[in-house]
Structure 1
Amino acid sequence: MNGHTPGPRATLIAATFTGLSAASTLALAADTPAATPSAAQDNLSVESTASPASTEESLGFADSLSQGAATLGFRARNETVDVDGADAVDLASLRTRLTVTSGSYHGFSALVEMDDVTHLSDFEGGVADPEGTEVNQYLLSYQAGATTLKYGRQRILLDNQRFVGGVGFRQNEQTYDGFTISNTSLPDTTLFLAHINNVNRIFGENSPLGDHDSDTYLLNGGYGGLSAGTLTGYAYLIDNKTAPVFSTDTYGLRFAGSTGSLSYQLEYAIQEAAADNPADYEADYMLVDGGYKLGPVSLSAGYELLGADGIAGQFITPLATLHKFQGWNDKFLGGGTGNIAGGIEDIYVSAGTSLAGVKVALNYHQLNSDDARASGMDQLGNEYGFLVAGKLGPVGLSLKYSQYVADEFSVDTDKLWLTAQAEF
């Protein structure tokens, strides 16, 4: 059984808090103007010269609430899943989302977001969009200068969502209960820290898989002052009380940027089992990705590795937006871990363009085992994807298709999604 080493973990978190606190202090000092005779004289005419802060102060709490906003969104989808050797499954569903935000009062604001997912056809399983009504987000925010604090249930999307995301493609989004602080007062730098006590997963609160009790810290810092791109370092310290096999410590570096028609991503991370995880392993993650824009066509290719430590364990990403990676067919979810025994190598290419305002994209994935001795497999399978998306007035429309051709892992599977969405 593994355990966090209290010293380094506590030191890392404390250092991050200290850095954010120092940056916040500098930001507040910089944002506080010095009193001058001319400033005092200007303030005599409140109507014509009042700053946003002083106007906000004069409005009062009730007035700040009236400055809020509400949006109502609908997303209808029909998903068809055809697994070789089984009957095809078809589910039509409608997600209704109401989002209400308040105005700002002395830097404080609030947000409440409700989701309802209704099945429009019989549910036969095989589609991860359960019926239900729940609070997707509810949070209190406070902004002071370059520092923003949020407490409550909230959306957290870090970098490309490979490690922490919201699984926004599904009708029921993944959100997080906890506290976050972000700061941008240092030049070209963004610092982020979160403590998470619960993960609201896509399966809904009525499912035993819907909530994961957690004592998790997420640390992420990015520096964008380099001409070639943004350098990001992170530490994701997951202590999952509900599913201890998800408990890991992950440390990594990411570099992403572009120059002219060329874009690129490089990333490396190392992970070890942590907290009450019954496994004892250490595994690597690696990403090399390049893109090139050739007139109206965007081309990209890449290599992604979620490695394995023999039969001891493999690199997992339980908080990721897994649908974005390793193909849209979701063949390698691994029970929510995002990997399977022996690890996964993903070699992929994609092409995309826009024709008369309609987005068209194609992609291909060759998926292999990282450690054939641990998995008992070498070539896992191939996947082909196709997407067409556009707008008809205020309504967004899309058709997405994915075909998984099995080699040594799982069976052939076809999936088709037809989606229409609008927000008012």
Structure 2
Amino acid sequence: MANHLPTAAAAAAAFALASFPTSAAAETNGKVSDASTIQLKPILDARLRYETVDQGSLEADAITLRVRAGAEAKLDKFALLAEGEGTVAGLSDYNAFPFPLADEQRRPEFAVIADPQNVELNRLQLQYKSHEVTATVGRQRINLDDQRWVGSVGWRQNEQTFDAVRGEAKLGPVAIDLTYALSQRTIFGTDAGPRTSLDGHFIFAGVSSKLGPVQGKLFSYLLHYDKAFFLANSSQTYGGILSGTFPLGPRAKLSLRGSYARQSDYGNNPFDYAADYWSLEGTGAMAGFNLTAGWEMLGSDDEHALQTPMATLHKFNGWADLFLTTPPAGLKDAYVSIGKSFTGVKLLPGLNANLAFHQFDSAVGDVEYGTEWDASAGFKLGKIGLLLKYADYDSKGFGADTRKLWFQAEWVF
């Protein structure tokens, strides 16, 4: 499998999808309307977002529209999927590339909003799926567990995907998930130079099982990057997760989750290091409220900290995204949040609100990194989901105070 799927493959997939009989395109409630066993399902979604950033001496404003379009053709247990992705900016007073690059979207006079204008092949995959086995080959979306280690970075307009072969199998009570990837297709798109894709040899392996209400998983992630500027992110990580949900009454439940991992250098990483990862979280749910308290540590050996370069990082350590790269002294994040779903508001279906607080400190050296408040509210109007979101990071002298505001509308076909 080549590091980059060639244009010829994209053309072949598009031709194959277009060649299916048009009678197979009619689908009602998930069932094909004629005798054909071929099903053709369109893929179409759009997201319009306004984002503004106030970060000390830097500010930024962006209005971006992301559209994904494609189709999935199914024949018995096989499916061929092709999807393109495009992002345009109506207001581009922002720095799309937070790294040196000779490109007009690199605007260091503005704060970073990592949503470059871009048109690319997002996914092109062939999949076999039965009750016991799923095998996927090609450019694909991969979200593992809570996306702490591997994810699609779905918050940003351009998605992260992987050129990979993935196999999933169920063997009685045991589930096995194994992936070999050759390329990490980043959120920075086709104009990002060497950061368009990060090539190498990557293995994601997991074995999980469930006993009563408790789910357990062992995992390993072997990241061997090829590009010289990214070799310091080559690592081997081994760990496990335990989680479970326990009823507390007819309308209340408690969810608990704990994880530990050990990471060290791997491949051609020029640094010799080892660091621990810990995560503990509990969520109580009752009458539409969710109250969460958690603690996460990305450790350090005093010089080099644990990193998660393939993660959906916006989900962790505050929405202001100040800790996308773990500081050399590591990071401890103690957080609490409260969320509420308002099911009785007929004019605003799906109305929900969330409020969270984070206390950030170093893992070694007793350095206070600051605090952050995050808040969001969302609801749906028909098929359009609306979201208002805010992050306020107080640096306590570590970096710059940062405030970010988003308003977005998302439509899915």
Task: Mark yes or no: TM-score above 0.5.
Answer: yes
Q: Does 1:246 align with 2:233?
A: yes
Change (3 A) 1:280 1:420: same
Relative to its length, the structure with more strand (as a share) is 2
Aligned residue number for residue 147 of structure 1 = 133
Q: Which runs of 5+ in 2 are unaligned?
A: 1-31, 96-111, 248-252
Q: Does 1:96 align with 2:67?
A: yes
Give, in whole Å, the separation in 2 of the partners of 1:144 and 1:420. 36
Q: Does 1:397 align with 2:389?
A: no
Give the C-alpha shift of residue 103 in structure 1.
1.5
Give the C-alpha shift of residue 145 in structure 1.
4.6
Q: Does 1:366 align with 2:337?
A: no
Aligned residue number for residue 81 of structure 1 = 53
**Residue correspondences, number:** 350
Matches within 5 A, 1:188-203: 188-203=173-188
Aligned residue number for residue 229 of structure 1 = 214
Aligned residue number for residue 310 of structure 1 = 302
Question: RMSD of the alignment, in Å?
Answer: 1.4
Deviations 1:155-200 (A, max 9, x none): 110010000101000000100001000002x223221000000000
Give the C-alpha shift of residue 229 in structure 1.
1.8
Q: One-letter code of the match for 2:263?
A: Q
SS of the equivalent of 1:90 reads strand
From 396, 408, 414, the equivalent of 2:397 is 408
Q: One-letter code of the match for 1:263?
A: S
Deviations 1:118-149 (A, max 9, x none): 10112431110000110110001123451111
CA radius of gyration, larger in: 1
Q: One-letter code of the match for 1:347?
A: A
SS of the equivalent of 1:257 reads strand
From 105, 108, 111, the equivalent of 2:78 is 108
Q: Which runs of 5+ in 1 are unaligned?
A: 1-55
Give the C-alpha shift of residue 210 in structure 1.
1.7
Q: Does 1:346 align with 2:333?
A: yes
Q: Does 1:159 align with 2:131?
A: no
Q: 1:64–1:102: 8 Å Cα contact kept in structure 2?
A: no
Deviations 1:340-384 (A, max 9, x none): 110000000000001223110000000000112xxxx61001000
Give, in whole Å, the separation in 1 of the partners of 2:355 and 2:137. 40
Q: One-letter code of the match for 2:84?
A: M
Q: Does 1:268 align with 2:268?
A: no
From 375, 381, 395, the equivalent of 1:386 is 375
Give, in whole Å, the separation in 2 of the partners of 1:351 and 1:112. 39
Give, in whole Å, the separation in 1 of the partners of 2:200 and 2:282. 36
Give the C-alpha shift of residue 246 in structure 1.
1.1
From 121, 136, 141, the equivalent of 1:135 is 121
Give the C-alpha shift of residue 206 in structure 1.
1.5
From 148, 158, 165, the equivalent of 1:172 is 158
Matches within 5 A, 1:25-36: none
Give, in whole Å, the separation in 1 of the partners of 2:214 and 2:187. 33
SS of the equivalent of 2:232 reads helix
Give the C-alpha shift of residue 393 in structure 1.
1.3
Q: 1:77–1:419: 8 Å Cα contact kept in structure 2?
A: yes
Q: 2:215–2:242: 8 Å Cα contact kept in structure 1?
A: yes
Give, in whole Å, the separation in 1 of the partners of 2:131 and 2:324. 41
Deviations 1:178-236 (A, max 9, x none): 1000002x223221000000000111122022210110111011112x12321011010
Q: Does 1:217 align with 2:209?
A: no
Q: 2:43–2:83: 8 Å Cα contact kept in structure 1?
A: no
Off by >3 Å, runs of 4+ in structure 1: none
SS of the equivalent of 1:68 reads strand
SS of the equivalent of 1:289 reads strand
Q: 1:378–1:408: 8 Å Cα contact kept in structure 2?
A: no
What is the TM-score with the length of structure 2 in the denominator?
A: 0.82
